[in-house]
Amino acid sequence: MTIAHDEAIIDSAAVDAIFAQGRTANSFTGEVTEDQARAIYELTKFGPTAFNSQPLRVTYVRSDEARGTLVDALMPGNKAKTAAAPLVAILSYDTAWTEQWDNFLPGYNAPKAMYDAAPALAAETGNNNAHLQAGYFILAVRSLGFAAGPMTGADFGAIDAAFFPAGDQKSFLVVNIGQPGPDAFGEAKPKFDYEQVVRTV
């Protein structure tokens, strides 16, 4: 047990599943139902973001044709595990996320003018907050008892061309999802200690 376990308001098993013993899986088994896939997002959406923005978009890849197209865009080391995973998600951000302003922050649209005047800032903010939501997505996967295998080893330009040809989304992460398969986890890699990372000023 650690101080994190002692201070947590959720039980130790949950702390382990979501954080302390959560590992990136490299092989998968089982299945992920439609209800479970929906539940992943239903948890993800509650994570805090700037201005309550919700630029993350999730594309679940289930059909053989779509899976083959995605696998072709991956680096060689990611192809086999993605082809075999029960469920695969492409995470992207909505390039026109500010157009939803009245839906995610009704009654306070003053900051929208700042983004409208600075497209590069809007793109950066959308990308940053979608990445933040991606972290929540992975924790949601773990909280439902699954393992996640997030990957950036891909040709995201090719993924965008195949899945988002209108340019309305920009992909940045592929996540394999399922129960961990045999030999899913390699040797645990070291994590930095508190003293190496944190300072108080």
Taking the C-alpha atoms of residue 186 and residue 201, their distance in angstroms, rounded to an integer, is: 38
Taking the C-alpha atoms of residue 194 and residue 163, their distance in angstroms, rounded to an integer, is: 41
Q: Which two tokens stand for residue 164?
A: 């988002």
Instruction: Pick the closest to residue 90 from 146, 183, 31, 158 (CA basis).
Output: 158
Pick the CATH number of 29-180 from 3.40.190.10, 3.40.470.10, 3.40.640.10, 3.40.109.10: 3.40.109.10
Global pTM reads: 0.95
Task: Please write the tens of the pLDDT for every residue from 148-197.
Answer: 999 999 999 999 999 999 999 999 999 999 999 888 888 888 999 999 99
Q: Is it the case that residue 16 has pLDDT exceeding 90?
A: no
